[in-house]
Amino acid sequence: MEFRGEEVPLGPPQTRVVLAMLAAHANDVVTIDGIAEELWGSSPPASAKTQVHGIISALRRLLGRDRITTTRPRGYRLLARPDELESHLFRNDVECAREMLAEGAVAAGAARLRRALARWRGPVLAELRGHLGRGLDETHVLALEERIAADLQLGRGADLVGELVELVAEHPLRERFRAQLMTALAHTGRLAEASRAYSVYRTTMVRELGVEPSAGLRALHTRILRGNS
Protein backbone atom coordinates (compact mmCIF):
# COMPACT_ATOMS: atom_id res chain seq x y z
CA MET A 1 0.00 0.00 0.00
CA GLU A 2 1.10 3.56 -0.69
CA PHE A 3 0.85 6.10 2.13
CA ARG A 4 2.09 9.67 1.71
CA GLY A 5 3.85 8.62 -1.49
CA GLU A 6 5.74 5.73 0.08
CA GLU A 7 5.17 1.98 -0.02
CA VAL A 8 4.01 0.68 3.35
CA PRO A 9 4.23 -3.10 3.99
CA LEU A 10 0.98 -4.24 5.59
CA GLY A 11 2.00 -7.65 6.79
CA PRO A 12 -0.37 -10.65 7.05
CA PRO A 13 -3.66 -10.99 5.12
CA GLN A 14 -5.84 -10.18 8.14
CA THR A 15 -4.21 -6.77 8.45
CA ARG A 16 -4.92 -6.05 4.78
CA VAL A 17 -8.54 -7.10 5.18
CA VAL A 18 -9.10 -4.80 8.15
CA LEU A 19 -7.47 -1.86 6.38
CA ALA A 20 -9.60 -2.53 3.29
CA MET A 21 -12.74 -2.43 5.43
CA LEU A 22 -11.70 0.79 7.14
CA ALA A 23 -10.75 2.42 3.84
CA ALA A 24 -13.98 1.38 2.10
CA HIS A 25 -15.91 2.99 4.98
CA ALA A 26 -13.48 5.85 5.55
CA ASN A 27 -14.71 8.40 8.11
CA ASP A 28 -17.54 6.04 9.16
CA VAL A 29 -17.65 3.57 12.02
CA VAL A 30 -16.64 -0.04 11.39
CA THR A 31 -17.71 -2.14 14.35
CA ILE A 32 -15.53 -4.75 15.97
CA ASP A 33 -18.27 -7.33 15.39
CA GLY A 34 -18.31 -6.43 11.68
CA ILE A 35 -14.54 -6.83 11.44
CA ALA A 36 -14.70 -10.17 13.23
CA GLU A 37 -17.40 -11.43 10.88
CA GLU A 38 -15.35 -10.40 7.85
CA LEU A 39 -12.26 -12.15 9.23
CA TRP A 40 -13.80 -15.34 10.59
CA GLY A 41 -17.35 -15.60 9.31
CA SER A 42 -20.10 -16.68 11.68
CA SER A 43 -17.74 -18.60 14.01
CA PRO A 44 -15.12 -16.16 15.33
CA PRO A 45 -12.65 -17.46 17.92
CA ALA A 46 -13.02 -16.54 21.57
CA SER A 47 -10.01 -14.26 21.16
CA ALA A 48 -11.55 -12.36 18.22
CA LYS A 49 -11.80 -8.98 19.94
CA THR A 50 -8.27 -9.23 21.28
CA GLN A 51 -6.96 -10.13 17.83
CA VAL A 52 -8.84 -7.21 16.25
CA HIS A 53 -7.36 -4.84 18.83
CA GLY A 54 -3.90 -6.16 17.93
CA ILE A 55 -4.46 -5.61 14.22
CA ILE A 56 -5.65 -2.05 14.83
CA SER A 57 -2.59 -1.38 16.97
CA ALA A 58 -0.36 -2.61 14.14
CA LEU A 59 -2.14 -0.36 11.65
CA ARG A 60 -1.78 2.63 13.96
CA ARG A 61 1.94 2.03 14.15
CA LEU A 62 2.08 2.04 10.34
CA LEU A 63 -0.28 4.94 9.63
CA GLY A 64 -0.10 7.03 12.79
CA ARG A 65 -2.24 6.81 15.91
CA ASP A 66 -4.43 9.75 14.93
CA ARG A 67 -5.46 8.06 11.68
CA ILE A 68 -7.64 5.41 13.34
CA THR A 69 -9.93 6.49 16.16
CA THR A 70 -11.86 4.34 18.63
CA THR A 71 -15.62 4.94 18.49
CA ARG A 72 -18.88 4.16 20.19
CA PRO A 73 -20.64 1.89 19.35
CA ARG A 74 -17.51 -0.11 19.87
CA GLY A 75 -15.51 0.10 16.69
CA TYR A 76 -13.01 2.11 14.71
CA ARG A 77 -12.95 4.92 12.17
CA LEU A 78 -10.24 5.60 9.58
CA LEU A 79 -9.86 9.34 9.03
CA ALA A 80 -9.06 10.17 5.41
CA ARG A 81 -9.66 12.87 2.83
CA PRO A 82 -11.46 11.81 -0.39
CA ASP A 83 -8.36 12.54 -2.47
CA GLU A 84 -6.41 10.01 -0.41
CA LEU A 85 -8.72 7.14 -1.35
CA GLU A 86 -8.19 5.34 -4.65
CA SER A 87 -11.76 4.02 -4.52
CA HIS A 88 -13.12 7.59 -4.36
CA LEU A 89 -10.87 8.80 -7.19
CA PHE A 90 -11.80 5.76 -9.28
CA ARG A 91 -15.53 6.36 -8.86
CA ASN A 92 -15.14 10.08 -9.55
CA ASP A 93 -13.34 9.36 -12.83
CA VAL A 94 -16.02 6.85 -13.82
CA GLU A 95 -18.85 9.32 -13.13
CA CYS A 96 -17.09 12.07 -15.10
CA ALA A 97 -16.55 9.64 -17.98
CA ARG A 98 -20.23 8.68 -18.01
CA GLU A 99 -21.22 12.33 -18.24
CA MET A 100 -18.85 12.79 -21.18
CA LEU A 101 -20.25 9.74 -22.95
CA ALA A 102 -23.83 10.91 -22.36
CA GLU A 103 -22.93 14.23 -23.99
CA GLY A 104 -21.46 12.45 -27.02
CA ALA A 105 -17.80 13.05 -26.17
CA VAL A 106 -16.90 9.42 -26.79
CA ALA A 107 -13.12 9.79 -27.17
CA ALA A 108 -12.84 11.92 -24.03
CA GLY A 109 -15.09 9.53 -22.11
CA ALA A 110 -13.02 6.52 -23.17
CA ALA A 111 -9.83 8.30 -22.11
CA ARG A 112 -11.31 9.15 -18.71
CA LEU A 113 -12.39 5.54 -18.21
CA ARG A 114 -8.86 4.40 -19.05
CA ARG A 115 -7.60 6.82 -16.41
CA ALA A 116 -10.02 5.36 -13.87
CA LEU A 117 -9.07 1.79 -14.71
CA ALA A 118 -5.37 2.64 -14.43
CA ARG A 119 -6.00 3.29 -10.74
CA TRP A 120 -7.20 -0.26 -10.25
CA ARG A 121 -4.77 -2.69 -8.65
CA GLY A 122 -6.44 -6.00 -9.30
CA PRO A 123 -9.45 -7.64 -7.64
CA VAL A 124 -10.13 -6.10 -4.25
CA LEU A 125 -8.36 -8.25 -1.69
CA ALA A 126 -9.25 -11.84 -2.43
CA GLU A 127 -9.36 -12.45 1.33
CA LEU A 128 -12.53 -10.37 1.73
CA ARG A 129 -15.52 -12.57 2.51
CA GLY A 130 -18.42 -10.13 2.30
CA HIS A 131 -20.16 -7.92 -0.22
CA LEU A 132 -17.52 -5.19 0.15
CA GLY A 133 -14.97 -6.69 -2.22
CA ARG A 134 -17.61 -8.00 -4.62
CA GLY A 135 -19.24 -4.59 -4.86
CA LEU A 136 -16.04 -2.77 -5.69
CA ASP A 137 -14.98 -5.41 -8.19
CA GLU A 138 -18.37 -5.21 -9.91
CA THR A 139 -17.93 -1.44 -10.21
CA HIS A 140 -14.59 -2.08 -11.88
CA VAL A 141 -16.02 -4.61 -14.34
CA LEU A 142 -18.85 -2.25 -15.30
CA ALA A 143 -16.34 0.52 -15.98
CA LEU A 144 -14.32 -1.89 -18.11
CA GLU A 145 -17.40 -2.83 -20.13
CA GLU A 146 -18.18 0.86 -20.68
CA ARG A 147 -14.63 1.62 -21.80
CA ILE A 148 -14.71 -1.23 -24.31
CA ALA A 149 -18.12 -0.08 -25.59
CA ALA A 150 -16.68 3.39 -26.17
CA ASP A 151 -13.64 1.97 -27.95
CA LEU A 152 -15.91 -0.12 -30.19
CA GLN A 153 -17.88 3.01 -31.02
CA LEU A 154 -14.58 4.65 -31.99
CA GLY A 155 -13.82 1.82 -34.41
CA ARG A 156 -11.07 0.16 -32.38
CA GLY A 157 -12.45 -3.38 -32.67
CA ALA A 158 -9.24 -4.88 -34.04
CA ASP A 159 -7.30 -3.69 -31.00
CA LEU A 160 -9.85 -5.14 -28.57
CA VAL A 161 -10.07 -8.76 -29.69
CA GLY A 162 -7.17 -10.06 -27.61
CA GLU A 163 -8.34 -8.28 -24.48
CA LEU A 164 -11.91 -9.50 -24.94
CA VAL A 165 -10.82 -13.10 -25.48
CA GLU A 166 -9.14 -12.94 -22.06
CA LEU A 167 -12.15 -11.26 -20.43
CA VAL A 168 -14.56 -13.84 -21.84
CA ALA A 169 -12.36 -16.62 -20.47
CA GLU A 170 -12.33 -14.91 -17.07
CA HIS A 171 -16.09 -14.15 -17.10
CA PRO A 172 -17.64 -16.93 -19.23
CA LEU A 173 -21.24 -16.11 -18.25
CA ARG A 174 -21.01 -12.34 -18.55
CA GLU A 175 -23.07 -11.49 -21.61
CA ARG A 176 -21.84 -8.01 -22.37
CA PHE A 177 -18.22 -9.11 -22.74
CA ARG A 178 -19.42 -11.90 -25.05
CA ALA A 179 -21.44 -9.45 -27.16
CA GLN A 180 -18.48 -7.09 -27.34
CA LEU A 181 -16.19 -9.91 -28.47
CA MET A 182 -18.67 -10.94 -31.15
CA THR A 183 -18.94 -7.32 -32.31
CA ALA A 184 -15.17 -6.78 -32.39
CA LEU A 185 -14.67 -9.98 -34.39
CA ALA A 186 -17.44 -9.07 -36.82
CA HIS A 187 -16.06 -5.57 -37.33
CA THR A 188 -12.74 -7.09 -38.37
CA GLY A 189 -14.36 -9.50 -40.82
CA ARG A 190 -13.99 -12.59 -38.62
CA LEU A 191 -17.64 -13.59 -38.90
CA ALA A 192 -17.14 -17.32 -38.39
CA GLU A 193 -15.24 -16.67 -35.15
CA ALA A 194 -17.95 -14.28 -33.99
CA SER A 195 -20.61 -16.91 -34.63
CA ARG A 196 -18.54 -19.54 -32.85
CA ALA A 197 -18.19 -17.23 -29.82
CA TYR A 198 -21.98 -17.09 -29.65
CA SER A 199 -22.34 -20.86 -29.98
CA VAL A 200 -19.87 -21.48 -27.17
CA TYR A 201 -21.72 -19.01 -24.94
CA ARG A 202 -25.11 -20.57 -25.71
CA THR A 203 -23.82 -24.05 -24.92
CA THR A 204 -22.35 -22.80 -21.63
CA MET A 205 -25.55 -20.99 -20.62
CA VAL A 206 -27.75 -24.00 -21.34
CA ARG A 207 -25.41 -26.40 -19.56
CA GLU A 208 -24.64 -24.24 -16.52
CA LEU A 209 -27.91 -22.33 -16.00
CA GLY A 210 -30.50 -24.07 -18.15
CA VAL A 211 -31.41 -20.89 -20.02
CA GLU A 212 -30.94 -19.48 -23.51
CA PRO A 213 -28.97 -16.28 -24.22
CA SER A 214 -30.95 -13.06 -24.07
CA ALA A 215 -33.02 -11.83 -26.98
CA GLY A 216 -30.51 -9.03 -27.50
CA LEU A 217 -27.58 -11.41 -27.92
CA ARG A 218 -29.60 -13.69 -30.21
CA ALA A 219 -30.47 -10.67 -32.35
CA LEU A 220 -26.80 -9.65 -32.52
CA HIS A 221 -25.92 -13.18 -33.66
CA THR A 222 -28.58 -12.99 -36.37
CA ARG A 223 -27.24 -9.64 -37.60
CA ILE A 224 -23.71 -11.07 -37.72
CA LEU A 225 -24.92 -14.07 -39.76
CA ARG A 226 -26.57 -11.64 -42.17
CA GLY A 227 -23.51 -9.41 -42.29
CA ASN A 228 -25.29 -6.50 -40.62
CA SER A 229 -23.37 -6.23 -37.34
Residues 106 and 141 in one domain: yes
User: Among 80, 114, 142, which residue terminates a domain?
Assistant: 80
Helix axes 175-187, 157-170, angle to 10 degrees: 150
Residue 166 and residue 115 in one domain: no
Domain with residue 75: its CATH number is: 1.10.10.10
Q: What is the CATH number of the domain that holds 201?
A: 1.25.40.10
Q: Are residues 6 and 61 in the same domain?
A: yes
Mean pLDDT score across all residues of the chain = 88
For 75, list phi and psi in degrees, rounded to 5.
180, -160
Residue 213 has what DSSP assignment?
P
Same domain flag for 97 and 128: yes
The single-letter code of the amino acid at 55 is I
Each residue's pLDDT tens digit, 59-74: 999 888 899 999 887 8
Q: Is the pLDDT of residue 158 over 60?
A: yes
Helix ranges (DSSP H) in the chain: 13-24, 32-40, 48-63, 86-102, 106-118, 131-153, 157-170, 175-187, 191-209, 215-225
C-alpha neighbours within 13 Å on the C-beta side of residue 9? 2
Residue 185 belongs to what domain range? 156-229
Residues 6 or more apart in contact with residue 209 via CB below 8 angstroms: 173
- pTM here is 0.73
Indicate if the alpha-carbon torsion angle 114, 142, 182, 121 is positive or negative.
positive
Quick: pLDDT tens for 25-84. Answer: 889 999 999 999 989 988 999 999 999 999 999 999 988 889 999 988 789 999 988 888
The model's confidence at residue 10, banded by pLDDT at 50, 70 and 90, is low
Distance (Å, whole) CA 94 – CA 117: 9
Last residue of a domain, one of 63, 80, 97: 80
Number of domains in the chain: 3
Q: Which residues, other chains included, contact 83 with Cβ-Cβ below 8 Å and sequence gap of 6+?
A: 89
Closest to 57 in 3D by CA, of 79, 39, 76, 73: 76
For the ranges 47-56, 82-91, 175-184, 207-216, which has the lowest average pLDDT? Answer: 82-91
Q: Is the pLDDT of residue 99 over 80?
A: yes
Judgement on whether residues 73 and 94 belong to the same structural domain of the protein? no
